[in-house]
Amino acid sequence: MLAARRRAYHGIMRIEGTEAAEKIVRRVRASGRENLVMILSNGCCDATAPYLYDDYIAEPDAQPIGAVGDVAVLAPGWLAKLYSSEDDVLTIDVEHGVLDDSFSLETELDCRFVLRAPVVPERR
C-alpha cells in the first residue's frame, strides 16, 4: 500500500507524492542540485514517467499540477486534461534498484520516479 501525502487539486489533475518520493527529492537537493522541477511529459523512452531536473526550461503550455515535497510538478496541457476528473489521482512514487538509463536526477541514487495511475474498474 502506498503511503501518500500532500494532495493538490488545481482543476486539471491531482498529483500526490509518496513519502519515499519526497525523501528522494530531499536527497537530490542535499547533493547540491538547485532550481529543481519535476515534469511529466511525452519522453521518447519512458512515456509519461516523472523526470526530475535542475534549471529546466519548461514547455510553453506546461501547467503546475502539484508538488512532491517542495518541488513543483509540471505537465503539458494535453496531458493534464487526460486525468481531469475529481476522482482521478496520480501518484508519484519511487522504485529502487533500477537501471540508471535516464537523465532524471534521482537515477544517481539508484532509483527512479514512477507515475502510478488509478486503477479503472472493468466495465461490462
Residue range 29-51, pLDDT digits in tens: 999 999 999 998 766 555 668 99
Whether the model clears a pTM of 0.85, i.e. scores above it, the answer is no
Place of cell 533500477: 98
Q: What DSSP character marks residue 29?
A: H
Mean pLDDT, rounded, for 10-27: 85
How much is the mean pLDDT over the chain?
A: 80
pLDDT above 70 covers what percent of the chain?
73
Q: Which residue from 80, 70, 63 is spatially nearest to 115, judged by alpha carbons?
A: 80
pLDDT at 28: 95
Whole-angstrom distance, CA of residue 62 vs CA of residue 2: 27
d(CA 62, CA 65): 9
Amino acid at 43: G
Find cell 532550481 and name the residue: 35
